[in-house]
Structure 1
């Protein structure tokens, strides 16, 4: 259980991050989407998650729901380095193999606006599949097109996959089983459209 892991001090900001402040970069609202939190024995309290991001030096930190969603402000501009720093801090603090997708909040809003299926459907769930590696999203899409499925609808968007499936079958459909494969664990994570809308508003 992650809650039993000893707390460690997160890595300090690198010199480049401090330099960006001196250059007068404006802080940008970001969204960190953690994969696999509060499922399969990985338990992280929202208060502890928020505290870690505050310790990492981010501003206006806020967690949304219990599925591993963090909103925060930063003036750091190297997204790849920032993502790696957060992942390392999560591993050290909570003792699990942490992977995140990190995006500017404005980018998430644009992605949500492009959702192509019915946004409200009493019989189907609307999801967005986010990814840190575009090649992996392309691969998922290609493999999904080979599946014999009459329940899933999957469409490629700009940096995301849009997914719709029957309610109550979020882990049972062919696409759900495809996304659950270990190969995609480090680079993809899925959120319900309702959750994404909360992240945009935060």
Structure 2
């Protein structure tokens, strides 16, 4: 993770913090153009580490909204350690999300709100078919999944 911090700092980002060995990075930038920042990071990672990765960026404000907007946290029977958020690189078209045919177990729940999917997997994420690769395929966008604890931790890191 030290190499990843160095890579971000070489791009001029400030207050670079990584979370565990997850590839999650919190940083400050003078630019507010998330798409431009993501492309810049993707190029630098390819140049430095010789592999390609899709970078998905959320600002502190966006992470706050993601956490506030989770429709499942208000239910007392929901186990927080079974909650996940799938972050999309692009907001899918509304019409493509309305008729989404997904093969899921009866007690699993998901809701798409903007550029995220809120996912409740009471049998565990390892057992669900509702993984980010399925959403990527059905909605034609890149995605990455974080559990609820990590999502909250990323917001905490962004406030440091």
Equivalenced residues, count: 153
- For residues 106 and 100 of structure 1, do their structure 2 counterparts lie closer, same or farther at Cα, with a shift above 3 Å needed? same
Deviations 1:140-193 (A, max 9, x none): 6743x44253142101223211001024x31332212xx234747961111111
- Aligned pair in 2 of structure 1 residues 153, 88: CA closer, same or farther (>3 Å)? same
Q: Which has the larger radius of gyration?
A: 1
Distance 2:95 2:87 in 1: 12
The answer for unaligned runs of 5 or more in structure 2 is none
For the residue of structure 2 that corresponds to 1:155, the secondary structure is strand
The corresponding residue for 2:28 is 73
Quote the Cα distance in structure 1 between the aligned partners of 2:53 and 2:93.
Answer: 18
Q: Where in structure 2 are the equivalents of 1:130-149 lying within 5 Å?
A: 130-135=87-92, 139=96, 142-143=99-100, 145-149=101-105
| Paired residues for 1:20-35 under 5 Å | none
- TM-score, reference length from structure 2: 0.81
Name the CA shift for 1:52/1:160 in 2 (closer, same or farther; >3 Å): same
Residue 154 of structure 1 pairs with residue 107 of structure 2: no
SS of 1:102's partner is coil
Q: Secondary structure of the residue that 1:156 maps to in structure 2?
A: strand
Match of 2:84 in 1: 127
Work out the CA distance in 2 between the residues paired with 1:194 and 1:164.
13
Q: Say whether residues 1:180 and 2:133 are aligned partners.
A: yes
Mean alpha-carbon deviation: is it higher for 85-94 or for 148-157? 148-157
Match of 1:53 in 2: 8
Unmatched segments (≥5 aa) in structure 1: 1-45
Report runs of 4+ in structure 1 exceeding 6 Å deviation. none
Please, what is the CA RMSD of the aligned residues? Answer: 2.7
Report the Cα distance in structure 2 between the residues aligned to 1:107 and 1:186, rounded to whole angstroms: 19
The SS at the match of 1:129 is: strand
